[in-house]
Amino acid sequence: MNRAHSYPLFVARDLDGLAALLVDNLVNLMIIAGTCIGVIGMPPALVYGKILPGAAVSLVVGNLYYAHAAAVLARRENRSDVTALPYGINTVTVFAFLFLILLPVARATGDPELAWKVGVAACVISGVVEILGAAVGDLVRRITPPSAMLAALAGVALAFIAMKPGVDIFGRPLVGLVPMGIILAAYLGGRRLPFGIPAGLVAVILGSILGWATGILDVEGLRSAAGATGLYLPSPAFGALVDGFSRVVPFLAVIVPTALMSVLGTLQCVHSAAEAGDRYATGMTMLVDGAGTLLGGLFGSCFPTSVYIGHPGYRDMGARRAYSILNAVCVSVLCLAGLVELALAMIPVQAVAGILLFIGVVIGSQAFTVSDPKHYGAVLVGFLPAFAAWGTGLVESTIGAAGADEASILSALKTSGVDLEALRALGSGCLLTSMLLSAALICVIDRKWRTAAYWCLAAAVASAVGLIHAPTIGFLAAPGPAIAYAACAALCFFVGLVRR
């Protein structure tokens, strides 16, 4: 191979990518540990000894594979600028599994360990669904308008990646604003720091100094976090899996839609990476995602993994493949040594929030840069379900954490003009809803009436079986949206006939 196109194992900008990917994984791990122990009531030994080591297995396998896939792609295309696909625990699935599976089981039975077993079975089933989804991935990608795919991805990126870091930054502006400014100036503004120092590394160091200086971090918190350290090796959880299968059936209505969302998200991420210049095999990517989830469940994890939204952002940072390898190493050390809490006791979230904000913004902008301007309206409509899902998750997690009566809260919200049920309906199955809405609107804009009718019919079927707009899967799970979409399909067919 020509030396000018040799693919380096490590570049300095891999440290920037590592900072973003590691903090994303770390925040998810902290949410899992904090909620499982503090809300669901699991013993710390179970969380640190089973769940996190199992998650580490899936994270290590996936990250190492995607680093290898990047090297294969670089060699095949004789390039040196290939960026590995980011990979980690699926954030949306974390909240769904915590509050719609684990918490209900623990509350109904009073047995947090049984909740873990059901979660293990749910994780394994999710992995199987993801693997089966690989068979249809390429077909879906061929028939779906690119703008519709990117609209769904952009909405999730802005709602679930950019929004939370933005809130964190302005919650602690003395700590977060300066690191954010460095990140955005370096990556959005194209300004290189002196001596080529990675902007992400500078942001983390400076943010940590500010965190300690302003009192967000302290020695007492460090000592408390150090109490969870130890050696936690992964071990098979076959017994828990068998016990969990006997109780998991009522939760298939949660497991299957979230697994399908993961399949769809992976599909959209692969398309996003291709638009950015790195063309990975759709089917193989889905297989690896499913295999990682399945393997994690077999070793005690309750939480599916998948390709992360944000490849173009990591690519714009200049990260290549080492950031994925280093993330595998760091995550395994954090989980197997019980260092998850200790890491966040040393580095404030605000120090790295700017990196996640940048990634969300890049994905959001990609939906417009590759779209025809006349499709911008359809792209923006595709953002709405993701923001509804984000708002729903915020309210539901607050209710779950507070242990409050949901009926009284729903009444109070309606009184103030917030209809949580409508918000849930719009946000349920947000990736699929977004893609269907945007695709139908794009076809209407292009006056492809018959194709628009088919997309409306697909939305009607998805509503009827509960894949979108419904909390559970079942016949006529969302009859109102199903009938409305069917009427839209009939209207599109009629307009097409008239125009013909």
- How confident is the model over 162-217, as pLDDT tens digits? 887 888 899 999 999 999 999 898 878 877 778 767 787 788 889 999 999 998 88
pLDDT at 402: 61
Confidence of residue 413 (pLDDT cuts 50, 70, 90): confident
pLDDT at 220: 85
Average pLDDT score over residue span 326-353: 87
Nearest-angstrom CA–CA distance, 279 and 262: 19
pLDDT at 152: 80
pLDDT at 3: 46
Average pLDDT score over residue span 401-430: 76
196 Rama sector, left if φ>0, alpha if ψ -120 to 50, beta otherwise: left
Q: Is 309 within 8 Å of 161 (Cβ atoms)?
A: yes
Nearest-angstrom CA–CA distance, 422 and 426: 6
Q: What percentage of the chain carries pLDDT values higher than 70?
A: 96
Average pLDDT score over residue span 44-49: 92
Average pLDDT score over residue span 261-274: 84
CB-count exposure of residue 8 (10 Å: 0-12, 13-18, 19+): exposed
Digit-coded pLDDT (tens) for 107-144:
888 899 999 999 999 999 999 998 988 887 777 777 88
Alpha helices in 338-405 (DSSP H): 340-346, 349-369, 376-381, 384-402
Q: Is 346 within 8 Å of 391 (Cβ atoms)?
A: no
Residue 397 has pLDDT above 80, yes or no: no
Answering whether pTM is above 0.75, one says: no
Digit-coded pLDDT (tens) for 281-339:
988 999 999 999 999 999 999 999 999 877 998 998 899 999 999 999 999 999 999 88
pLDDT at 4: 46
pLDDT at 20: 79
pLDDT at 257: 65
Cα distance between the two ends of the chain: 56
What is the DSSP-derived secondary structure letter of residue 382? T
